[in-house]
Amino acid sequence: EIVMTQSPATLSVSPGERATLSCRASQGISNDLAWYQQKPGQAPRLLIFRASTRATGVPARFGGGGSGTEFTLTISSLQSEDSAVYYCHQYNRWPIIFGQGTRLEIK
């Protein structure tokens, strides 16, 4: 089973700045990685799939990169509404595994 490790656990960034979130897979997963945003009391929202493709309606300030075992989610020009927990998950092979999440706080 592939293990997904996200870092940091919590990130605090000022509005207008850039946030970089990391996700590492214990085995190579090509670009079969997605990123989700989840706010309290809400269902997850897909941001990025295939490691770097933005989902429909996602602003361009959300960007994904990486392949193999190392991946990043970059959020530029942070806004207050970006405060949320962000999850990555791999879908290269069954079972689909999520990372434990990164909590992004806007100062």
Partner 1 sequence: EVKLVESGGGLVQPGGSLRLSCVASGFTFSTHWMSWVRQAPGKGLEWVANIKPDGSEDQYVDSAKGRFTISRDNAKNSLYLQMNSLRAEDTSVYYCARDFPWAETGTVVWGQGTLVTVS
Shortest CB 82 distance to partner 1, Å = 19
Closest CB to partner 1 among residues 20, 98: 98
Shortest CB 8 distance to partner 1, Å = 15
* b/e burial code for range 46-74 (CB count within 10 A of at least 16 → b): ebbbebbebeeebeeebbbebeebebbbe
* Residue in this structure with the two tokens 């293990």, named with its chain if needed: 3
Which residues 47-106 are close enough to bind partner 1 by CB under 8 A? 49, 55-57, 85, 87, 89, 91, 94-101
Q: What six digits make up the tokens of 60?
A: 């361009």
CA 31 to each of CA 12, 62, 65, 77: distance values in angstroms, whole numbers, following the listed order:
28, 17, 9, 25
Shortest CB 16 distance to partner 1, Å = 27
Residues near partner 1, by CB under 8 A: 1, 34, 36, 38, 43-46, 49, 55-57, 85, 87, 89, 91, 94-101
